[in-house]
Amino acid sequence: MSSYQTTSGYLDGQLLIAMPSMGDERFQRSVIYMCAHSEQGAMGLIVNQIADQVNFRELLQQLQIEVPELRREINVHNGGPVETGRGFVLHTTDYSQESTLMVDDAFGLTATADILKSITSGEGPRESMLALGYAGWAPGQLDTEIQANGWLHVDSDVELVFDDDLEGKWARSIKKMGIDPSFLSLDAGHA
């Protein structure tokens, strides 16, 4: 087992944090909640990027879901560059349906329109995040990227994942590791 892996050997339920040197613009300063990681590959959702092409109300209309008076505005996140037309809801485990993947004790993942209906009717999970697309890695690809210092990882928590302060999530994730983010900056020490 590699030194970066959790006791199970995989990063399910962890937050993946892009290093400042991340060369792929799609993932710069990103924080990704890892939904699945195994020898078959890995899948996660970026939790700190908003999708700029659609809002929640428009998405519901496209799916022909009745839009009652929304209690609060719900952001649509950019979950990653793979299958960007497909929606995923990361949520607390107080909500579950037959198709829900329970990632761990705190998080579930549901990819059916039923959860959107539940959210709009006030019967959905306590906390949730809607994302279009996901971040995916082929077998061994994520392991190679981690070994090349492209990513850090830390235990996830509900407050950090579902917090609306998207700009601050990257720094707060780094601080959760006990690291000052300025020590990782490529520009540290420059005026």
CB atoms within 10 A of CB 137: 17
Which sequence spans correspond to the domains of the chain? 14-176
What is residue 187's predicted lDDT score, i.e. its pLDDT?
47
What is residue 4's predicted lDDT score, i.e. its pLDDT?
43
Burial of 77 (0-12, 13-18, 19+ CB in 10 A): buried
Task: Work out the angle at residue 38's Cα, subtended by the Cα atoms of residues 76 and 78, and round it to the nearest 5 degrees.
Answer: 10
Using CA atoms, how far apart are residues 29 and 169, in angstroms rounded to an integer? 9
What is residue 68's predicted lDDT score, i.e. its pLDDT?
66
Residue stretches of the chain with pLDDT short of 70: 1-9, 67-72, 185-191
What is residue 184's predicted lDDT score, i.e. its pLDDT?
73
What is residue 74's predicted lDDT score, i.e. its pLDDT?
81
Using CA atoms, how far apart are residues 31 and 15, in angstroms rounded to an integer? 6
Strands 107-110 and 82-92, bridge-based pairing: antiparallel
Using CA atoms, how far apart are residues 71 and 63, in angstroms rounded to an integer? 19
What is residue 166's predicted lDDT score, i.e. its pLDDT?
93
What is residue 174's predicted lDDT score, i.e. its pLDDT?
93
Query: What is the CATH topology of the domain spanning 14-176?
Result: VC0467-like (3.40.1740)
